[in-house]
Amino acid sequence: MTRTTAYRCSRIFDGEKLHQNAALLVEDGCVSGICPASDIAGGIEVSDLGVGVLAPGLIDLQVNGGGGLMLGDAKSVDDIARICAAHLSLGTTALTPTLITDTPETTRRVVELGIRAWQEGVPGFHGLHLEGPHLFAGRKGAHDAGLIRKMTDDDLALYLEAAKALPSLIITLAPETVGGEQIARLAAAGVHVSLGHTGASYRLCREATEAGASLVTHLFNAMSPLQHREPGLVGAALDLGALSVGLIADGIHVDPAAIGIALRSKRGPGRIFLVTDAMSQTGTDVTSFMLGGREIFRRDGRLTLADGTLAGADIDLPASLKYLTDTVGLPLEEALAMVTSGPADVLGCPLGRLQAGRSADLVLLREDMAVDGVWLAGDRLSA
């Protein structure tokens, strides 16, 4: 028997625009439409969500860990489920857990676990992001320089096979470390090649983009900066329409003025989307944790190594939305698109929009952007 529920809310965001005093119709776990709250047909179950914003579930394409666990330490599918669960509770209903630079053995283990997680339907899991190890050591950030290396034939074979079995695979690499032929093979197999942790010139970044690179990892951080005679990767990210760009909006990784400049500069087909670059502390109250044998300190919204090097971010997507709207001054519609339809379009997946036939993965945000409810396929998760 078909079950239809009308979720009434003061504002509903469909992935592109806000609907005032509207109702989202959900039929057997899928969206069937949006209508004015006054037009709900008789006999339909009504759930009144009050004042707030009902939106598609949030999407995060750079999540290093959560729930007290880094992806590199995962030993089972349950460990991946634990990471995803920490972010689900914060409104992120689709994520690509991210492995930072590690050994070939750890990379293979995580890829195999990711494939199993997808096969077993781990809630929230939507692929993997391998941030390294094929980076430029001169822009390593918190990555272990001893583990950064060239891409071998065995590495490439692993990635090509993984791309067949995963819903999405993102690989962050440096174009001075990985050649155009390898980038082209990855892109042809459906891998989303992201440029990052690089000192490459604008010309080299453009050549990598022409070979098939389509993303940029955490804009402004760990990359060649924009200069008037050498635009670097920052210049390429903002200039080339073929590149979509991840951005950390925590007020620490990027100054709000630089965020505003980037948003005004990045027009055309390429988009800027938000990522958290979250670490294992997400969903916990720990004040420090270990990363590859090094202690990471959590103080005043920052995660750093002992020498002060930033090591991921201590923020979630709802808090990022609040920062964009309150501090940067971005309209709510634009900010919401950067965590829903924007990253969904990057992956080319049917998420991020409240369109008929799509899974009713939802988040309810209050006026201060605090999460007040999360749904997967129309089922509300327990608090």
Active site residues: 277
Residue type, 371: V
DSSP string of 189-205, one letter each residue? TT-EEEE-SB---HHHH
Cα 315–Cα 320–Cα 325 angle in degrees, nearest 5: 155
Contact between residue 325 and residue 274 where contact means Cβ atoms under 8 Å apart: no
Contact between residue 59 and residue 19 where contact means Cβ atoms under 8 Å apart: no
Residue type, 35: C
Within the chain, residue ranges assigned H as helices are: 77-88, 104-119, 153-165, 180-188, 202-211, 232-239, 256-265, 317-323, 332-337, 341-347
Q: What is the dihedral of CA 188, 190, 191, 194, to 10 degrees?
A: 80
Residues sharing a CB contact under 8 Å with residue 41, sequence separation 6 or more, in sequence order:
none
Q: What tokens does 243 get?
A: 């590149």
Distance CA 343, CA 354 (A): 15
For the chain, the farthest-separated pair of C-alpha atoms sits apart, in whole angstroms, at 66
